[in-house]
């Protein structure tokens, strides 16, 4: 068995400052492929995705991806482990995750679109709001309410939990919070969508879904993929440090979600669902 990759890698760099130069070591965020396979008790198997990710919480990433894409519900998962199939070379064992299902592998023709994706673009798996309407219901209005003070504190609390970012400066993060601002879990990855999948996978494997009384905070921008994954997990409130995309706003308004963008310092924009923010 080859060595298991870690979340960081060390390299030699030449640092230039003004007219001077010095050689030193630098920590980088690791980026490696992860293949997600489905297997059944009758021996059938199928690769559903190959995504570039930062190693760590790989089983959560697989579970979160399958749930967000509407492919496999958490209750159908019997076990998750690193692959030991003979066709996988030893150096790739920790980059291949096998999800064993209870019962047969379902007929999933939509998986034909899931091949190689990068950590930058993500695997959204849904081309339009029409697809989401078929798969997802609007989030319940419930009694989730946030104060501006709680919102303003989320970015700092997310940043404080980013251990790998502190070493590399090159990772995104997604954090799950209570309406009172308590951090429940934070995950990091080179891809925003992977960080969210790891987070929702953690919740799925722990039997915490739906997350209908929680707040999702993400570093960077709020994209369609982020909103899709949050909606699949039942998250009513999504906050982002940067801007949302137009389609992200459309998803939030269509499905009754609260979307907060440009959350920095003591300011933010509420693009949808402002009734959950007590101002």
Catalytic residue among 83, 121, 124, 136: 121
* Residue 143 burial (10 A CB sphere; 0-12, 13-18, 19+): exposed
Task: Say what the pLDDT of residue 234 is.
Answer: 96
Q: Report, as ranges of residue numbers, the positions in the chain whose pLDDT lies below 70.
A: 1-2, 108-128, 165-166, 169
- pLDDT computed for residue 93 by the predictor: 87
Res 114: pLDDT:
45
Beta strands 258-264 and 267-272, pairing class: antiparallel
Q: SS3 letters for the chain?
A: CCCCCCCEEEEEEEEEECCEEEEEEEEEECCEEEEEEEECCCCCEEEEEEEEECCCCHHHHHHHHHHHCCCCCHHHEEEEEECCCCCCCHHHHHHEEEEEECCCCCCCHHHHHCCEECCCCCCCCCCCHHHHHHHCCCCCCCCCCECHHHHHHHHHHHHHCCHHHHHHCCCEEEEEECCCCCEEEEEEECCHHHHHHHHHHHHHHCCCCCCCCCEEEECCCECHHHHHHHHHHCCCEEEECCCECHHHHHHHHHCCCEEEEEEECCEEEEEECHHHECC
Indicate if 121 belongs to the active site. yes
Distance, CA of 273 to CA of 142 (rounded, Å): 12
pLDDT reported for residue 109: 56
CA distance 10 to 13: 10
Say how far apart CA 40 and CA 245 lie, in whole Å: 38
CA distance 115 to 120: 15
Q: What is the pTM of this model?
A: 0.88
Q: Which tokens go with 152?
A: 């303003």
pLDDT computed for residue 127 by the predictor: 52
Q: What's the confidence (pLDDT) of residue 180? A: 96
Neighbours of 115 (CB within 10 A): 11
- Sequence ranges of the binding site: 262-267
pLDDT for residue 174: 96
What's the confidence (pLDDT) of residue 3? 78
Q: How far apart are CA 123 and CA 180, in angstroms?
A: 31
Task: For residue 142, give the nearest of 4, 273, 9, 33 by alpha carbon.
Answer: 273
Q: Please name each of the domains of the chain with its CATH number.
A: 32-128 (3.10.20.10), 148-276 (3.40.140.10)
Q: Which pLDDT does position 128 carry in this prediction?
A: 60
């Amino acid at each position: 068995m080859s060595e298991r990759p870690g979340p960081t890698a060390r390299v030699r760099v030449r640092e230039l400052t003004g007219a001077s130069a010095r050689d030193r070591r630098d920590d980088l965020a690791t980026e490696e492929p992860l293949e997600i396979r489905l297997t059944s008790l009758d021996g059938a198997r199928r690769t559903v995705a190959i995504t570039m990710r930062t190693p760590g919480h790989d089983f959560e990433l697989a579970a979160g991806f399958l749930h967000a894409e509407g492919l496999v519900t958490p209750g159908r998962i019997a076990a998750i482990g690193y692959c030991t199939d003979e066709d996988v070379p030893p150096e790739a064992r920790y980059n291949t995750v096998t999800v064993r299902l209870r019962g047969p592998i379902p007929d999933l023709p939509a998986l034909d679109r899931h091949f190689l994706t990068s950590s930058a673009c993500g695997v959204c798996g849904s081309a339009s709001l029409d697809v989401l309407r078929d798969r997802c219901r609007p989030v319940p209005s419930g009694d989730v309410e946030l104060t501006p003070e709680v919102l303003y504190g989320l970015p700092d609390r997310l940043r404080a939990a980013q251990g790998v970012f502190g070493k590399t400066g090159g990772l995104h993060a997604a954090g799950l919070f209570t309406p009172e601002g308590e951090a429940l879990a934070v995950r990091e990855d080179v891809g925003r969508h992977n960080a969210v999948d790891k987070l929702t996978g953690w919740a799925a494997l722990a039997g915490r879904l739906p997350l209908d009384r929680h707040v999702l905070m993400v570093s960077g921008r709020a994209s369609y993929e982020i909103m899709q994954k949050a909606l699949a997990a039942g998250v009513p409130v999504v906050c982002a440090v940067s801007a949302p995309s137009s389609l992200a706003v459309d998803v939030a308004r269509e499905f009754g979600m609260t979307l907060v963008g440009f959350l920095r310092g003591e300011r933010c924009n509420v693009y949808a669902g402002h009734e959950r923010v007590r101002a």
